[in-house]
A and B are shown apart, each in its own frame.
Chain A
Amino acid sequence: MLEIRGLHAGYNEVEVLRGIDLNVAKGEIVALLGANGVGKSTLNNTLSGIYRPFAGRIQFMGRNIAGMRSDAIVDAGLIQVPEGRRVFPNLTVQENLELGSYRRGREQRSLNLERVYTIFPRLKERIAQLAGTLSGGEQQMLAIGRGLMAQPELLVLDEPSLGLSPLLVEEMFGLIQALNRGGLSILLVEQNVVQSLAIAHRAFVLEHGRIALSGVASDLLNDPGLKASYLGV
């Protein structure tokens, strides 16, 4: 579904990603792990067309989307739920969700709204509330809900657990797994190594702009190198 080959990217003149190879197959959860500042968000924003890649291919659903505009990439069905949620603070919960289907899934808008409200009953309670007044966890739900409104082929989640309480983090990972079981392909970009590996099928570890490790998630969980660098044991 998604096949990244030799991707070099960054912003302004600074090269952050120095040759990335990564792939996601249909129906998978693939985790992309890495500490702060190794280029996870750069990769996401290059995938979404916010930054233009310097070199390399991004094959998505059989098309090279590298360098395409962000709206065309949304059309193709690659939907990113960004780090920091990026919900529209001055719009209501419902309006935020409606804008999720600004380009894709417009015909099924009311159907998808019901679906999102079933997944997140909390959002339904706050339907007319301004998104800026929601709690962090609720904003994260709204951001994911907004992404789902576009009927994604691939959902890219950038640090969905960031800033959430441990209990909410647990809930969030459970939800991601449930979405995946419903047939959604997910690229999960996270710092939270243990919990990500617990729900992912495969994982890639990003270090200094390169893929340092990759493999089946359960294998990586026992990898001594990963343990040393991330778990401190």
Chain B
Amino acid sequence: MLEFSILLPAILNGLTIGAIYALIALGLTLIYGVLHIINFAHGSLLMLALYGVFFLHSLFGIDPYLALPVVGIALFGIGYGLQRFVIGHAGHGRDENILLVTLGLSVIIENLALYLWRADTRTIETPYSFETLDFGIAFIAVPKAVAFAGALLVAALLWLLMTRTDLGRAIRALAKERQGAKLVGINVEHIFAMSFGIGCACLGVAACLLLPSFYVSPQVGHAFVLVAFTVVVLGGMGSFVGALLGGLIIGVTESLGGLFFGESLGQLGIFLIFIIVLLFRPTGLLGQKA
């Protein structure tokens, strides 16, 4: 019964969705790590990005993968603006205020989407939607394979940005030492907004990779944001590699859980692993002590 020919495709499928989880979680962990903001609007912004991809395709016939630069930059702009002109001001520097502001933003964005686009679930059809790739051991749908490769590529680019550029160094410096950062001339508000913008750009990319094999509705963010939070905590708050690793683990767990317990109980395994890891490593897999 436990045949390799079933197990292996399930693992591969899990890795593809896991890479998307990782990408969404990377944005979340970047924003948390630098701004110490738990961004409740993360899921709604992903939903917004998915609608962006959807309308670019249905109104203008733009392929989701070609829309990637547009949606990525648009989400970056939205994120930058939100942090610089809304969250930063409304928070008055208090974490609990910021928490409420992002929660409020998510309520507004979601209900605006419900009002404008109704609660319908929508999908797009691309020429490659039902194409598969033969890996010898398993068949993988083309959109999923692209999503996997794309997500890992973006994660690698993000890592290069964080370690090889002055912007990345400034972001990491600001995460730990605000006054030192000011004294080398880092513009704190600007770098905060850049971090938020880059975190949101990850959502734009995730949306483009996701939609060819997924759907969009005003509530679509919920499914992802809960998992993304789990990934972030599992990997260790603020840890990049942790988010990547956590995303893949969660993806595979979900996929295998679905295989053994059925689709509706698939996510059960996620939270089991989550609880077990936290029991033994309260800071997450790769998290540092506070």
Binding site for B on A (CB under 8 A): 48-50, 69-71, 73-75, 79-80, 82, 85-91, 95-96, 98-100, 102-104, 106, 146, 150
How many angstroms between the C-alpha atoms of A98 and B166 in the bound complex? 8
Distance in Å from the Cβ of A71 to the closest Cβ of chain B? 4
Instruction: State A87–B177 Cα separation when bound (angstroms).
Output: 7
Cβ contact within 8 Å between A89 and B170: no
Pick 11 A–B contacts, CB within 8 A, sort by A: A49-B182, A50-B182, A50-B183, A69-B187, A70-B183, A74-B183, A88-B180, A90-B173, A100-B184, A104-B185, A106-B166
Contact of A90 (CB < 8 Å), options: B166, B175, B179, B184: B175
Q: Within the complex, which residue of B169, B170, B177 is in contact with A86, where a contact is CB–CB below 8 Å?
A: B177
Q: Are A86 and B186 in contact (CB under 8 A)?
A: no
Establish whether residues A86 and B172, one from each chain, have CB atoms under 8 Å apart when the complex forms. no
**A86-B176 in contact given A91-B169, A95-B169, A99-B170 (Cβ < 8 Å):** no
Q: 17 extra interchain contacts, Cβ-Cβ under 8 A, other than A86-B179, A102-B186?
A: A50-B182, A71-B182, A71-B186, A73-B185, A74-B185, A75-B185, A86-B177, A86-B183, A87-B177, A88-B172, A96-B173, A98-B166, A99-B173, A99-B186, A103-B185, A106-B166, A150-B185
Please give, as numbers and ranges, the residues of chain B lying within 8 Å of A106 by CB-CB distance: 166
Which of B166, B175, B187 lies in contact with A99, CB distance below 8 A?
B166
A146 to B166, CA, bound (A): 14
**B172 near A74 (CB under 8 angstroms)?**
no
User: Chain A residues with Cβ under 8 A from B183's Cβ?
Assistant: 48, 50, 70, 74, 79-80, 82, 86
Please name all residues of chain B whose beta carbon is closer than 8 Å to the beta carbon of A73 when the two chains form the complex. Answer: 185
Q: What's the interface size class on B, roughly? A: 10 to 19
| B184 and A74 contact, CB distance less than 8 A | yes
Q: A91-B169, A102-B170 are in contact. Are A48 and B182 (CB under 8 A)?
A: yes
The majority secondary structure among interface residues of chain B is: helix
List B residues at the A interface (Cβ < 8 Å).
166, 169-170, 172-173, 175-177, 179-187
* Chain A residues within 8 Å of B180, by CB: 82, 85-88
Residues of B within 8 A of A146 (CB): 184
Residues of B within 8 A of A85 (CB): 180
Tell me the bound Cα distance from A55 to B180 in angstroms.
Answer: 25
| Given A91-B169, A95-B169; A102-B175 close (CB under 8 Å) | no
Q: How far in angstroms is the closest Cβ of chain B from A91?
A: 6
Q: Is the CB of A150 within 8 A of B172?
A: no
The residues of A that contact B179 with a CB separation of less than 8 Å are 50, 82, 86
Question: Complex: how many Å from CA A102 to CA B182?
Answer: 11
A85–B166 Cα distance when bound, in Å, is 21
A89: chain B residues at CB < 8 Å are: 176-177
In the complex, A98 Cα to B187 Cα: how many Å? 16
CB contact between B169 and one of A87, A98, A103, A104 (< 8 Å): that residue: A98
- Do the beta carbons of B176 and A150 come within 8 Å of each other? no
Query: Max chain A CB contacts within 10 Å: which of B173, B176, B185?
Result: B185
Least CB distance from B18 to A in Å reads 27
> Complex Cα distance A70/B178, Å?
12
Check A88 against B173 for contact (C-beta < 8 Å).
yes
Knowing A98-B166, A98-B169, A99-B170, say if A88 contacts B176 (CB, 8 Å): yes
Q: Would you give the shortest CB distance from A142 to chain B, in whole angstroms?
A: 11
A36 nearest CB across to chain B (Å): 19
Residues of the B chain whose Cβ atoms lie less than 8 Å from the Cβ of A100: 184
Interface centre among A49, A69, A82, A91 (most CB of B within 10 A): A91
